[in-house]
Amino acid sequence: MIEVYAAIDILGGQCVRLKRGDFANPIVYGDPVEMAERWQSAGCDWLHVVDLDGALCGRSVNVSKVAAIIATTSRPVQLGGGLRDRDAVEAALGAGCERVVLGSAAVIDPASATEMARAWRGRVALALDIKRGEIAVEGWTKGSGITVDEAIGMLAEAPFASVVVTDIARDGLMRGVALETVEEVLEVTPWPVIVSGGISSREDAEAIADLSHRHRRGHKLRGVIVGRALYEGAVTIAEIKAALEG
């Protein structure tokens, strides 16, 4: 089963979407808590919450908004952004997040990320934010100089719950999924894959389902994160689920 994650990106206390990770021109959609309740009512399986301010500065910023989402919804929350050390991870999980996502922290300090994945087995995911074949860090603002293969190689021993794969060139543009990037990760990842970025129609969801069926490691496709397409009304969660099941 491929689950649907509704994206809740928080910047300055507001729910926003970015185009290709551009912080200068966010699209503002309103209160994150209201959006979380909306997508829960629409039938999402998970809420994928990202503290964009936290991703930029390296520490959790929108704590109160995340806490309010957890308090007012019943869907499991997957949180990323600014989680760079054990204290931050422990605080997020203790506050009620079902899963946390390590991005920059995992690439910068693979040993520590591996330890955290072992300490909270099944509750720590890895984010691979990919820009022209390179892993981006610090809120997608910098390149790491590390390729996808190198990153997975450094972290291969970590028991991550999943890996969130985002092709930054497609994120927020509603131009389809970078299937070649997903296939590249499928070939080398030891973890279940969650696809993020570019899912904008039922056809995109059908393409993910087709990849899951035909790829020799397609069974590792476990989720899709959908953002702007939901907010713009280009596709519904029900349509995405029907396409994935079909």
Asked whether residue 174 carries a pLDDT value surpassing 80, the answer given is no
Q: Answer yes or no: 129 catalytic.
A: yes
Catalytic hit among 51, 53, 129, 204: 129
Q: Answer yes or no: 9 catalytic.
A: yes
Catalytic hit among 9, 167, 171, 204: 9
Give the start-end residues of each E strand in the chain.
3-11, 14-17, 27-30, 46-51, 77-80, 99-102, 124-131, 134-137, 142-147, 163-167, 193-196, 221-226
pLDDT per position as a tens digit, 105-161? 899 999 999 999 999 999 999 999 888 888 988 655 677 789 999 999 999 999 999
Beta-bridge mates of residue 135? 130
Note the pTM of the prediction, 2 decimals. 0.94
* Cα–Cα distance for residue pair 198/176, rounded to 1 Å: 4
* Cα–Cα distance for residue pair 179/71, rounded to 1 Å: 36
